[in-house]
Structure 1
Amino acid sequence: MKYVAYQKYKPAKAAWLNVLPEIWGQIRGRFVMMVNPPSRQVRQLDGVNEVSFVPMDAIGEYGGMNLERTRLLEEISAGYTAFEDGDVVVAKITPCFENGKGALAQNLKNGVGFGTTELHVLRTGNRLDKHFLFYLTISHTFRMLGEFEMYGAGGQKRVPPEFAKDFLIPLPPIDEQQTIARFLDAKTAQIDELIAKKRQLIDKLKEKRSALIARTVTRGLPPEAAKAAGLEPNPEIKNSGHPWLQVRENGRGRPIYPEEKRCEGSGQIQGIASAQHRAEDGSDGRTFPRTCAAPARWAWKGNGGHGQPNSGGALQAGIRALHSGAGVRRHPFSGGLQRNR
């Protein structure tokens, strides 16, 4: 992704930043923000006032803060880290720091929050925009350099406060900082929306995969695949006699695999297929009036008729035989379905 460059650049003071725009400054954090300052807002509250309680698991990676939990101030005034609206909080312990845990505190109960002691609190002055600082703290560069400064051993390594105080901040004019922050707000929101859509698609594909497997191992190949393999594409359906193998015929005689099915007489709910299948006849898939069924050429065998899956090797052998069109000498389920010769 390329954007129009600034007209003029100048050498940067920091080794990790070669150049920066000519009108930008570069200054150590201690001169434009406070690190782990006391909360001014806490002094204005009584012990019976509620405040936001924000443990580490309530702080998101690369932004976001879960504010569902609150506590009375008198319950958590000691042993926790205090912060207030507008502060930027950064996890200081490994692996939370490397994972990008941090957030801009907003909409806190009574303007105050208390969190784990494993947080650094950064409070901006009038030369540094809080939104710009937040994006700086979740940048790869900030996290990578902070990781190099960690002290301690094993899982107890921490970023010292001096790292934030001495960090050389690229400092645009305040109005440009705000413009940059608004730009990142819009672009990251678009990216987050795309990520959410991709995750929904992945979930649907997983559901489709599960439904395909369930349908194929209990009813045989889909018509197109069966025809290509030299098998009957639309086999006659017969009663399997087993409650876990249940289908429902729609008006066209095509099997419908509900997402949830009630086994006759048992009252148990069994699920082997997706909502995609139940939608074909407009039903909710929660009732099952017909008997259990299987292809007419398949036989049920073994294990007292309970149909427990056999080992993976036998299952794979059975599936390969079905794909090849040959008879199955060792059936794919111990007590499962076996093709008749």
Structure 2
Amino acid sequence: MNAADNILAGKYKPYPAYKDSGVEWLGNIPSHWLTSKMRYMFTFGKGLTITKENLRDEGIPCVNYGEVHSKYGFEVDPTKNYLKCVEEEYLKTSFSSVINIGDFVFADTSEDIDGSGNFTQLTSNVVTFAGYHTIIVRPIDKSSHRFFAYLFDSKEFRTAIRHAVKGVKVFSITQAILRGADIWLPSQDERQRIAAFLDYETARIDRLIAQQQRLIELLKEKRQAVISHAVTKGLNPNTPMKDSGIEWLGQVPEHWIVRRLKHTASIQSGIPKGKDLAGKETITVPMLRVANVQDGYLNLNNVHEIEIETHELFRYSLKVGDVLMNEGGDNDKLGRGAVWAGQINPCIHQNHVFAIRVNKIESEWLSWLTSSSYAKHYFYSVSKQSTNLASISSSNVKETPLFLPPKIERVEIMRYLNEKLAKFSRIESQTIKKIELLQERRTALISSAVTGKIDLRGWTPPVAGEAA
């Protein structure tokens, strides 16, 4: 029994009579509901013919492909969501691309098939443009705009759109596809009741999801604090301390050694891309990118391959125990890394990923150190920065201050961290599962309501304080 069946088997009852909708992917609908095509219920338009270079920090807010595709999703409000703007001059030349409250903005392309049909609905009276790579869909019946939002978000409608789009690497959705899309229509009163019900229920689910997401953030903060304290202060609160010599760090245990990374490790730079290999003897090998190197672990689900000269394999091959570290990217990617355990052999790394080869200490200890707040602070302070991007040189990495307790103490601290963080990981996994279940329930609830699997004609919002 799936989530939708659980809903039907619970407190919500079905309609007394159903009929075949005649629409593939939809199935039966209540006997008094009608079916139609979107072209009879909406008008259509095109977003501004602009590029990112036309956007400004001030002016008329603009809902572009990016906001539809990934940022704000189901609804957008310029008074709450940050939007780039266009100059007011566009009001004179492109007024048809202005959207009103209740209008929909669909992304006209998607990089994956599941994103086909992504849309957002304007929920504000602020004058707003639909931007680049978007299609405007305006409901003729303005009073039903909220019902249509949930219909467009239902798995049935999205399935139909996915099967209509064309593409291989980029999936395109056109006005013609939307005009020809099937929709189903309860009575006006039912549309209002269904929308009110879903507004109430999805808001409750969204609050629960937000609580679980906040718990994950708190776990990450706690994880960071535990790592940072353990690798800079140790486990014994009574140990004598000394000045670390680093202003923003403070004291470290008196018997610990403070040493620059260059005295404990060597750094291997990765291979640059785009070399001319014409006429040369080459081989194709797996190559790790910045995207593969996460904070404390490696994501090897999508490892690219690269063609290199045969003799370069030895020069750039990773060795078991190498500590991988990102040269840069987004600020959160700077310096993050993990230990290479030889999961792929052979495997090389690109030039934006450093391979740090340690001696005299454990690779795992260096990995813990570079995961700490003090190391992240150091990397950021010496990095080259631009808008939301940062990069660090191998020279600066070599100057990273390391804190080295005796080996027996390092082993004890690492054992403590492994046990402590394993508990955090279990809690996080349980929390992620709760979020997934809540999202499944949200999806099932929307589909059940907008396709008439549950009869909401008698539903009224619960009185404050009552259980829903």
Q: What is the TM-score with the length of structure 2 in the denominator? A: 0.47
> How far apart are residue 339 of structure 1 and its match?
5.7
Of residues 62, 81, 86, the one that matches 2:102 is: 86
| Residue 114 in structure 1 maps to residue 182 in structure 2 | no
Of residues 212, 226, 244, the one that matches 1:242 is: 244
| Residue 315 in structure 1 maps to residue 365 in structure 2 | no
Q: 1:307·1:334 contact (CA, 8 Å) conserved in 2?
A: no
Paired residue secondary structure (2:89): helix
User: Is the alpha carbon distance of 1:34 and 1:136 closer, same or farther for their aligned partners in structure 2, counting shifts above 3 Å?
Assistant: same
Q: 2:65·2:132 contact (CA, 8 Å) conserved in 1?
A: no
> How far apart are residue 306 of structure 1 and its match?
10
Q: Deviations over 1:248-269 (max 9, x none)?
A: xxxxxxxxxxxxxxx2xxxxx3
CA distance in 2, matches of 1:58, 1:218: 41
> How far apart are residue 197 of structure 1 and its match?
1.1
| Residue 6 in structure 1 maps to residue 18 in structure 2 | no
> How far apart are residue 86 of structure 1 and its match?
2.7
Specify the code of the residue in structure 2 equivalent to 1:131: R
| Residue 31 in structure 1 maps to residue 49 in structure 2 | no
CA distance in 2, matches of 1:163, 1:94: 14
Of residues 203, 212, 218, the one that matches 1:189 is: 203
User: Is the alpha carbon distance of 1:189 and 1:138 closer, same or farther for their aligned partners in structure 2, counting shifts above 3 Å?
Assistant: same
- The aligned residue for residue 15 of structure 1 is 24
User: Is the alpha carbon distance of 1:136 and 1:235 closer, same or farther for their aligned partners in structure 2, counting shifts above 3 Å?
Assistant: closer
Q: 1:309·1:334 contact (CA, 8 Å) conserved in 2?
A: no
Comparing 16-25 with 29-38, greater Cα deviation is found at 29-38
| Residue 66 in structure 1 maps to residue 78 in structure 2 | yes
- The aligned residue for residue 278 of structure 1 is none
- The aligned residue for residue 405 of structure 2 is 337
Of residues 208, 215, 219, the one that matches 1:205 is: 219
Paired residue secondary structure (1:34): strand
User: Is the alpha carbon distance of 1:10 and 1:169 closer, same or farther for their aligned partners in structure 2, counting shifts above 3 Å?
Assistant: same
The residue correspondences of 1:101-250 to structure 2 (distance < 5 A) are 101-110=118-127, 113-126=128-141, 129-152=144-167, 154-155=169-170, 157-221=171-235, 236-244=238-246
Q: 2:257·2:404 contact (CA, 8 Å) conserved in 1?
A: yes
Specify the code of the residue in structure 2 equivalent to 1:337: P
Paired residue secondary structure (1:206): helix
Unaligned runs of 5+ in 1: 39-49, 222-233, 245-262, 264-268, 271-287, 320-332
CA distance in 1, matches of 2:407, 2:191: 71
Paired residue secondary structure (2:137): strand
Q: Identify the structure with the greater helix proportion.
A: 2
CA distance in 2, matches of 1:91, 1:164: 12
Specify the code of the residue in structure 2 equivalent to 1:75: Y
> How far apart are residue 171 of structure 1 and its match?
0.6
Q: What is the TM-score with the length of structure 1 in the denominator? A: 0.63
Instruction: Name the % identity.
Output: 23
Q: 2:46·2:134 contact (CA, 8 Å) conserved in 1?
A: no
Of residues 278, 300, 305, the one that matches 2:256 is: 300
User: Is the alpha carbon distance of 1:96 and 1:121 closer, same or farther for their aligned partners in structure 2, counting shifts above 3 Å?
Assistant: farther
CA distance in 1, matches of 2:33, 2:220: 49
> How far apart are residue 178 of structure 1 and its match?
0.9
User: Is the alpha carbon distance of 1:71 and 1:210 closer, same or farther for their aligned partners in structure 2, counting shifts above 3 Å?
Assistant: closer
Specify the code of the residue in structure 2 equivalent to 1:23: H
> How far apart are residue 121 of structure 1 and its match?
1.8
> How far apart are residue 172 of structure 1 and its match?
0.2
> How far apart are residue 98 of structure 1 and its match?
3.9
> How far apart are residue 194 of structure 1 and its match?
1.4
User: Is the alpha carbon distance of 1:154 and 1:309 closer, same or farther for their aligned partners in structure 2, counting shifts above 3 Å?
Assistant: same
The residue correspondences of 1:39-50 to structure 2 (distance < 5 A) are none
CA distance in 1, matches of 2:211, 2:40: 42
- The aligned residue for residue 55 of structure 1 is 64
> How far apart are residue 56 of structure 1 and its match?
2.6
> How far apart are residue 180 of structure 1 and its match?
0.6
Paired residue secondary structure (1:53): strand
